[in-house]
Amino acid sequence: MSEHQAGHDVASRIAALYADDPEFAGAVPSPDVADAMGRKDGLMGVIAAAMHGYADRTALARRSGRVVRDPATGRHTRELLPSFDTLTYAELWQQVGRLAAGWADGADGVRAGDFVATLGFTGVDYAVIDLACMYLGAVSVPLPTGSSAARLAPVVAETGPRILAADVASLDAAVGAVLTSASIERLVVFDYDPRVDDDREAIASARGRLNGRAEVVPLVDEVDRGARLPAAEPYEDGDPDRLVGLIYTSGSTGTPKGAIYTASMITRMWQNARSGLNAGGGSGTPVFVLHYMPMSHVNGRAWLVNGLAAGGTGYYAARGDMSTLFDDIRLARPTVLSLVPRICDMVYQRYLLEADRVGRTGTPRPQAEATASARVRDDMLGGRIVFALCGSAPLSEAMHTFTASLLGTPIIDCYGSTETTRAIVVDQVVRCPPVTGHRLADVPELGYFSTDKPYPRGELRVKSVGLFPGYYQQPEVTARAFDEDGFYRTGDVFAETAPGRLVYVDRMNNVVKLSQGEFIAVSGLEALYTTSPHIAQIYVYGSSEQAFPLAVVVPDAERLGRADDDAVRTAVLDSLRELAHGAGLHAYEIPHDVVVERQPFTVANGLLSGAGKILRPALKERYAPRLERLYADIAAGRAGQIAALRAAGGKVTPLDAVRAAAQITLGCPSSLVRAEAAFTDLGGDSLSAHTFSTVLEQILDEEVPIQVILQPSSTLARIAERLGRPARDAREARPTFASVHGGDAHEVRAADLTLDRFLDGRLLATGRGARPGPASVGNVLVTGATGYLGRFLAVDWLRRVRETGGRLTCLARATDDGAARQRVLACLRAAVADPADWFDAAAERHLTVLAADVSAPRLGLAETAWESLAEQTDQIVHAAALVNHVLPYRSLFAPNVAATAELIGLALTGRAKRFAYVSTVAAAMLPDGSFLDETADIRTVSPVRPLDDSDANGYATSKWAGEVLLREAHERAGLPVTVFRPDMILAHSSLPGGLNLTDRFSRLLLSVLTTGMAPRSFYGIDRDGNRSRAHYSGLPVDFTAAAITALSAGNEDGYVTYNAVNAHDDGISWDEFVDWLIEAGHPIARFDDHRQWHMRTEAALRGLPDHQRRLSLLPLMRAYARPGVPRAGSAVPATRFSTAVGALGVGEGRVPSLSPPYLAKCVADLRLHGLL
């Protein structure tokens, strides 16, 4: 249906309603009342004008009910009736006045400026309380519905309310809030019926828990008391900026913040709404609205005002769980429908059910769908909707089209926020007024720029009439909410497709608005979910067109590395739900399905920043197509499953139907939808329970009450029982970060890292008795041979064993030994300049390669392979590690710490062995910035390591942990250990192309050359304006490998540590490197202002072609934001290393210095790799 046709249908429907519906005709906004409201200046004058002007009209209505006695239990409950009890404007105003009189009575009564907080579902009583606050000049604080006491605590503490009003359903949380508050004097209970046993018992329980801490009073008693007192005077002080209310927003992003609503803002809301709806091409259309949105949401409050200001009627949904929503709409017959996508989805499900019913009579499908549309519109939705809008989250295009067609009215798309107080973009057009100015600001961290093509994109910033003045008691947060020119930062990204025409693109601040209008803070969820032992990394993905998030998960290699994807999904989803339940999350914060990704997110693949944070635009670009297909598959599978289940008829058992309905509704894998699972445990909430019930009805023609579905004790099996048809080689778990250090550890201790937590105690006891090996090294095991340093170590050892007649064994991850051998051979050949001369023959005779996993139990080897290694190996050279400067220690525990322990176990099994360990110089750094010397016991000098997000903290700590374990292995079992702590391992001094493209040195060199920019000094300028003398302590990889091989071979029984660094005080640093590059003819501009260089370099790197950008310094730019600390030589003591190098004649018998020819060779390597 076209917009023009829909508008014509609305105009015709309005004309018919005027002619045939007396209630509709009698609710037209009065021009006289509207004029009177417009002439008033003060808030109470405007409200009173509406209340008096429409005194005899129906203002509000609640569902009728009666109290009935259950013959089985004898308990009294409230039963809904198919009608509404109404309250006129005069009666509403009388109730407000009486409550105000009761609250204002006495010396300790409520006064202007006092705070009153309200918690509960929207309703007549809630409206009375809110209006009474304005009557007295008190500040209304609506609390988020359904919040726990813990979530309420910061708001209550910040506002200090004297009164907390709560409905019966929220009493438990309300009592918890009172118990933590020093300000609340009275707990007022609304929506309370003393004849209902549950209500009466709830109040008794509240009084018992509070034990006199605060008075617990039913609202009806407060109103009755006020009726016996003199009337209170409506408060009016003429101050337009007086605080009237707070609406707390964005609690999902951190601490909630209360948006200030002033008297003038609320006054303007009432005055702007006094003319009624603009529907069918004209204004003044009567307002009949069904209230179901919470009063803590700006839309819920706005529609209360929109109805009362125009002389309309507000009908209230009977239950907060939405279980009665369509009965409420049918009885209320609203003229306006304020939509969220989830409600549209519920309407769509009803439509499908109705179309299916009509179709079963033999009616052709097109006619069945037309009949279903008419029945849903005219019967279920009341038949007089003339105005519909969606302002909470955008509808998908398909749902927008369907809903507009079914309702026969255009769907107005509104964009606004709590802070703007009203819609500022309507149907993609900026509204002027209220907007007085708008702009799009670049969001470089998310990749949105005003220069984007074909349309500029950026964060929408606005100036607007009625814009909030700030957040209560949070001046710093308020200051950040506005830019330097006074524009409010909306936090939403738009594309401007034409002047004043804005299309919504994305949400900033890692917050996603789902289809029901709820926000999820994906960064916070990711932080929680990565605490799962099954998850190494996770990316949570949501869409404003969907009701639930999905996720991409990199499984924990230790626990799930060998499991298939289905097993991983089951384990991960179970874990997500367990964590969410423990953290008290909402159902919509739990991913309903996951994509299993075996490759970690890394800086190298562009999915992590240099600070270790996931890069959302890159992740979205890579995974969004798969995730959107998963959404589509879930939706398509739903319709197909329902059709198949219906076709199966009586062959489907109730339990099968219930499980299928749960899977269809929640999008869970079938493996999770077990009979013993509760619907809520699977991520269900009240709205999805409604859909679940509808799906069951489609399948079995039987209805399950939503209350039954939502009961925690209602497992799927129990739900099925309610339906009419009768329901037809073992090793202990590997050590983990949590088991060794504690799950929430913020620092790690050497005392935690004892070998008996990793190895069998008997092995430690017998280690000193291991059968002695030969005096010289014959057979060597090298780990990490596919890594950068490891391949050169393996080549050096292959040369040695070729001469001694021994064997070199290398380990590599692969499906089998053959594939592992191919991997290792390819890496080793790349590390040899002339492989044809000797390499192939040596590899054939002296190289064994095993498919293995160093972090797995027994290295993932078969028993015979393990025993053979234990019996035949003379020396272990452990160079394997997950080298990552941004991953936390927890993530590196298995590959770097547990793996080292596993190799220690191998070293202590069978014949005696020597152990060479490649650590890092960062493991020797102390808190004051100094470094351990080469003789200290790392356990005593560095007993505790903090865990934080500083550069390389996780990697350095994992290597420190390895040293701690090796110290104990030497001490307790006599294991000879040689530890090497290298600094930066640089390019090979002669092998063409032999450099590590992903290390920091190569990245910085490439970035300087491609951008042609460098700071005047990487180390800052001294007081005289000169460059500081500094030193760069990296060493070529070939020298480092040769030193490790030579120095480790001679240690037969001791524990020796070498700080393998270039410690020359030679003044050679990155400043000299740039000098050499300029002298070699490379055009490089130097910047005196380091910040200017940093900013311009980062911008230039972003513009590089992909193959250069991925290997540039971009992920590590944060480390170069400030000049480095200049050191004339190395801060790392390396006397033992230098002496040993000279004694054994490693290289030229001395630690080499870096030189212009060496740097030129590195540049040539970059060019050889096609990067220059």
615 and 666 share one domain: no
**Residue 826 placed within a domain:** yes
Q: What are phi and psi of 664, to 5 degrees?
A: -65, -45
CB count, 10 Å around CB of 530?
18
Query: What pLDDT is stored for residue 361 in this prediction?
Result: 86
Q: What is the DSSP string of 251-307?
A: GGGSS-EEEEEEHHHHHHHHHHTTT-EEETTEEEE--EEEE-S-TTSHHHHHHHHHH
Q: Pick from 598, 631, 664: which residue ends a domain?
A: 631
**Residue 57 placed within a domain:** no
Q: What does the alpha-carbon distance between residue 421 and residue 416 come to, in Å, rounded to a whole number?
A: 7
Q: What is the DSSP string of 920-967?
A: -GGGGB-TTS-B--SSS-HHHHS-EEE--SSTTHHHHHHHHHHHHHHH
992 and 1106 share one domain: yes
pLDDT tens for 377-423 read: 999 999 999 999 887 656 667 678 888 999 999 889 888 888 998 88
Residue 855: name the closest of 808, 884, 894, 905 by CA: 894
**Residue 310 placed within a domain:** no
Name the residue with higher pLDDT: 481 or 855: 481
494 and 533 share one domain: no
pLDDT tens for 1104-1119 read: 776 888 899 987 887 8
Tokens representing 214? 């605060």
At residue 680, the 3 state secondary structure works out as helix
Q: Do the Cβ atoms of 391 and 19 come closer than 8 Å?
A: no
**Which of the residue ranges 82-86, 313-317, 1083-1087 would you say has the lowest mean pLDDT?**
1083-1087
1152 and 1020 share one domain: yes
**Residue 255 placed within a domain:** no
Read off the CATH number of the domain in which 532 is found.
3.30.300.30
If phi > 0 it is left, if psi is from -120 to 50 it is alpha, else beta; for residue 185 that is alpha
Query: What pLDDT is stored for residue 208 in this prediction?
Result: 95
Q: Band of the pLDDT at 724, cuts 50, 70, 90? A: low
Q: What does the alpha-carbon distance between residue 742 and residue 585 come to, in Å, rounded to a whole number?
A: 23
**Residue 388 placed within a domain:** no
1016 and 1106 share one domain: yes
Check pLDDT > 60 for residue 371. yes
**Which of the residue ranges 454-458, 562-566, 1052-1056 would you say has the lowest mean pLDDT?**
454-458
pLDDT tens for 111-168 read: 999 999 999 999 999 999 999 999 999 999 999 887 778 878 999 999 999 999 999 9
Q: What are phi and psi of 452, to 5 degrees?
A: -60, 150
Q: Band of the pLDDT at 687, cuts 50, 70, 90? A: low
Read off the CATH number of the domain in which 1162 is found.
3.40.50.720
597 and 660 share one domain: no
Give the position of tokens 């002080």: 237
State the angle between helix axes of 1000-1011 and 1090-1102 in degrees (0 to 180), rounded to the nearest 10. Answer: 90
CB count, 10 Å around CB of 727?
16
Query: What pLDDT is stored for residue 1025 in this prediction?
Result: 81
pLDDT tens for 447-473 read: 567 776 667 888 999 999 989 999 999
Q: How far apart are the first and last CA of the chain?
A: 58
pLDDT tens for 93-107 read: 999 999 999 999 988
Q: Pick from 509, 543, 568: which residue ends a domain?
A: 509
Tokens representing 250? 């964005």
pLDDT tens for 19-55 read: 999 999 999 999 999 999 999 889 999 999 999 999 9
Query: What pLDDT is stored for residue 1053 in this prediction?
Result: 81
Check pLDDT > 70 for residue 646. yes
Q: What does the alpha-carbon distance between residue 1096 and residue 1089 come to, in Å, rounded to a whole number?
A: 11
Query: What pLDDT is stored for residue 732 in this prediction?
Result: 42
Which residues are CB-neighbours of 9 under 8 A, at least 6 positions away? Answer: 1, 408, 409
Check pLDDT > 60 for residue 603. no
479 and 562 share one domain: no
Q: Do the Cβ atoms of 726 and 654 come closer than 8 Å?
A: yes
1112 and 1000 share one domain: yes
Tokens representing 760? 């069998």
Beta bridge partners of 430: 425
Which class for 955: exposed (0-12), middle (13-18), buried (19 or more C-beta within 10 A)?
buried
Average the pLDDT over 322-350 and give the result: 85
Q: What does the alpha-carbon distance between residue 1165 and residue 1167 come to, in Å, rounded to a whole number?
A: 5
Q: What does the alpha-carbon distance between residue 834 and residue 838 come to, in Å, rounded to a whole number?
A: 8
Query: What pLDDT is stored for residue 613 in this prediction?
Result: 59
At residue 122, the 3 state secondary structure works out as coil
Q: What does the alpha-carbon distance between residue 304 and residue 48 come to, in Å, rounded to a whole number?
A: 15
Q: Do the Cβ atoms of 821 and 828 come closer than 8 Å?
A: no
**Mean pLDDT score of the chain, rounded to an integer?**
87
Average the pLDDT over 233-261 and give the result: 83
CB count, 10 Å around CB of 148?
13
Three-state DSSP string of 373-388? HHHHHHHHCCCCCCEE
Q: Which pTM was predicted? A: 0.55
Q: What does the alpha-carbon distance between residue 444 and residue 1117 come to, in Å, rounded to a whole number?
A: 14
Residue 824: name the closest of 837, 804, 839, 834 by CA: 839
Read off the CATH number of the domain in which 481 is found.
2.30.38.10
Name the residue with higher pLDDT: 802 or 280: 802
**Which of the residue ranges 676-685, 700-709, 713-722 would you say has the lowest mean pLDDT?**
700-709
Q: Band of the pLDDT at 728, cuts 50, 70, 90? A: very low
Beta bridge partners of 76: 69
Query: CA 166, 167, 172: angle at the middle one, nearest 5?
Result: 70
pLDDT tens for 199-216 read: 999 999 999 999 999 999
**Residue 1060 placed within a domain:** yes
At residue 330, the 3 state secondary structure works out as helix
pLDDT tens for 907-960 read: 999 888 999 999 999 998 888 778 889 999 999 999 999 998 787 888 999 999
Inter-CA distances, 961 with 242, 431, 858, 981, Å:
60, 61, 20, 13
Q: Do the Cβ atoms of 704 and 661 come closer than 8 Å?
A: no
Longest dimension (CA), the chain: 109
Q: What does the alpha-carbon distance between residue 728 and residue 678 come to, in Å, rounded to a whole number?
A: 20
Query: What pLDDT is stored for residue 782 in this prediction?
Result: 96
* Residue 1037, domain extent: 986-1168
579 and 611 share one domain: yes
**Residue 992 placed within a domain:** yes
Q: What does the alpha-carbon distance between residue 48 and residue 16 come to, in Å, rounded to a whole number?
A: 33
- Long-range contacts formed by 657-664: CB under 8 A, 24+ apart: 657/696, 657/699, 657/700, 657/720, 657/723, 658/696, 658/716, 658/717, 658/719, 658/720, 658/723, 659/716, 660/699, 661/692, 661/695, 661/696, 661/699, 662/692, 662/716, 664/637, 664/638, 664/695
Q: Band of the pLDDT at 245, cuts 50, 70, 90? A: very high
432 and 465 share one domain: yes
Q: What are phi and psi of 866, to 5 degrees?
A: -60, -50
Query: What pLDDT is stored for residue 729 in this prediction?
Result: 39
Query: What pLDDT is stored for residue 726 in this prediction?
Result: 44
**Residue 121 placed within a domain:** no
602 and 708 share one domain: no
694 and 837 share one domain: no
Query: What pLDDT is stored for residue 1127 in this prediction?
Result: 81
Most confident of 242-256, 346-360, 1054-1068: 1054-1068
CA 563 to chain centre: 26
Tokens representing 1167? 């060019």
Number of domains composing the chain: 5
